[in-house]
Amino acid sequence: MPSWQMTMLCQLQRSDFEKSTRAAARYFKHLHKYFDDWYLALAAYNCGQARVNRIIKRQGTRDYWKLTRLPKETRNYVPNVMAAIYVAQNP
């Protein structure tokens, strides 16, 4: 399923908490399958698959930590999510 269709599916299901959560999980799963990297999947979830692809192509690396041209919000988003996961796993 193309990423724009996944995005539309998420938007259409926002009014139902369970459906929107499942749609977001499917989209995130799609991103992880596409990028084969959790950091890149998180970045794409935040700023878009096409944008992350463009940045990877321009910078010539698939290493999330070396992608310096990501938007500031995304550069902050990924470490914040990782911190939240760490705290949730180690209360």
Average pLDDT of every residue of the chain: 87
Burial of 28 (0-12, 13-18, 19+ CB in 10 A): middle
Confidence of residue 87 (pLDDT cuts 50, 70, 90): very high
Question: What's residue 2's pLDDT?
Answer: 60
Give the model's pLDDT for residue 80: 95
pLDDT tens digits, 23-64 = 889 889 999 999 999 999 999 999 999 999 999 999 999 999
Report the Cα 77 to chain-centroid distance in Å: 9
What is the predicted pLDDT for the residue at 34? 96
